[in-house]
A = this chain, B = another copy of it.
Amino acid sequence: MKDFVFHTPTEVIFGHNAEDKIASRIQKYGGTKVLLHYGGASAERSGLLPKIREQLTAAGIAFVELGGVVPNPRVSLVRQGIAICREQGIDFILAVGGGSVIDSAKAIGFGTPYEEDVWNLFLGKGTAKSCLPIGSVLTIPAAGSEMSNGCVITNEEGWHKRAYTTELSRCRFAIMNPERTFTLPPYQTACGVTDIMMHTFERYFSLEDDMTVTDSIAEAILRTTMQAAPIVLKNPTDYRWRAQIMWAGSLAHNDLTGCGTVGDWATHHLEHELSALFDVAHGAGLAAMWGSWARYVMSTRVSRFVQFAVNVMGVENDFTDPEGTALRGIERMEEFYRSIGMPTSIPELIGRPATEEEILLMADKCCRQDTHTEGNFKVLYRKEMEDVYRLANK
């Protein structure tokens, strides 16, 4: 097992009427002039934004608004946010929405004090030294950004999608009211569930497979999420099971499921090129890739996939046939994805097979036009990336 540092300072306020605590928490963490950052019409329509504006005004907290965050959030809007924060002397960012909004807020947060163009950080050409404090009001459980140290931003020039990670960007607080997720459409709910499970998978499929307490927690989160998904798809206003998904989403990505392991992240990065090229939902892209990745890497350590099959997917262990048991686990996972309306291949994701040119382009971008590799469970070079894309293209 690996030595690790675990540090999740985000204060989570979870449950009914959690939103009522927004102003007091901003004040607790020193905010006096806030950038209110959000996406589109849904937070307006649901009454959440009007409620927040009212609360901030009543508390005497000044704020400037910046809406318009889209899925796969853009660096152009981040740059606008940075300009506003500098001009207006903003000292706190409140992100209202899902992972895209929180990621955008983080990039604005560490981009504001950064003297060069923020995209340099995503290119690995610099290091953030500080970050404006950020609070979040979560409305889409999926990305786990509300407790994580990372963010993913898309640059429209060339459609590059890149991550930047810094402990400085962890939210000071996260407001989570499961009722705020009642109106999520089924497809977005399913994408969220997939993303939550994948954040766990990326840490679980590790050659450092001797951290049993971490494993057992990861398996617990996976099983609960799978139990919850069909229930909320049938009954979107089921508070109990919406709550399970919401809390699982934070725990899946706050590093708890990675204590002592080495993450893989190949599926995530292969998917980033998919959603950068086709602008599809991240969760759906992950579902489309995962089974192919799993079959491709399984032989590296079959025992890990047997453990997954038995402990998570409820497969009977055929002790005479580890490969068969492992494969059955992958198949069951794909059956689950299909049962919640997720694709399990690229053609199902984008409505047609990717062309050979598109596959080469994605592999090229994923390996960053050089010898960059992905994955740790099995290291993928340029050729292996193509292989996995082709496997997922059938």
Contacts and interface: CB of A to CB of B under 8 A. Distances in A.
Interface string A213-232: 11011011101110110000
A134 to B, nearest CB: 16
Interface string A199-213: 000000000001111
Nearest to A240: B210
A14 interface: yes
A214 B3 CA distance: 25
A213 B221 contact: yes
Contacts of A14: 3-6, 259-260
Given A217-B220, A220-B220, A5 B12 contact: yes
A391 B375 CA distance: 57
Contacts of A223: 216
A2 interface: yes
B213 A247 contact: yes
A368 to B, nearest CB: 31
Contacts of A259: 14, 247
Contacts of A7: 9-12
A166 interface: no
A247 B17 CA distance: 33
A105 B200 CA distance: 36
A193 to B, nearest CB: 13
Nearest to A177: B3
A162 to B, nearest CB: 27
A137 interface: no
Interface centre among A9, A216, A221, A223 (most CB of B within 10 A): A216
Contacts of A211: 243-244, 247
A18 interface: yes
A217 B228 CA distance: 15
B213 A220 contact: yes
Contacts of A227: 212
A216 B215 CA distance: 12
A379 B120 CA distance: 60
Contacts of A11: 5-7, 9
A221 B210 contact: no
A248 B212 CA distance: 10
A23 B323 CA distance: 49
A219 B9 CA distance: 25
A8 B11 CA distance: 7
A60 interface: no
Interface in A1-51: 1-18
Contacts of A228: 212
The CB with the most chain B CB atoms within 10 A, among A3, A9, A10, A212, is that of: A212
A240 B7 CA distance: 22
Interface in A80-136: none
Interface string A237-253: 00010011001100100
Nearest to A17: B3
Contacts of A225: 213
Contacts of A243: 1, 211, 260
B244 A212 contact: yes
Contacts of A5: 11-14
Interface string A347-381: 00000000000000000000000000000000000
7 closest Cβ pairs, A-B complex:
A3-B15, A216-B220, A9-B9, A7-B11, A6-B12, A220-B220, A213-B224
15 contacts: A2-B15, A3-B16, A3-B17, A4-B12, A4-B14, A5-B14, A6-B12, A14-B259, A14-B260, A213-B244, A213-B251, A216-B223, A216-B224, A217-B251, A256-B256
Given A3-B15, A9-B11, 6 more contacts: A4-B14, A5-B11, A6-B14, A212-B227, A212-B244, A217-B217
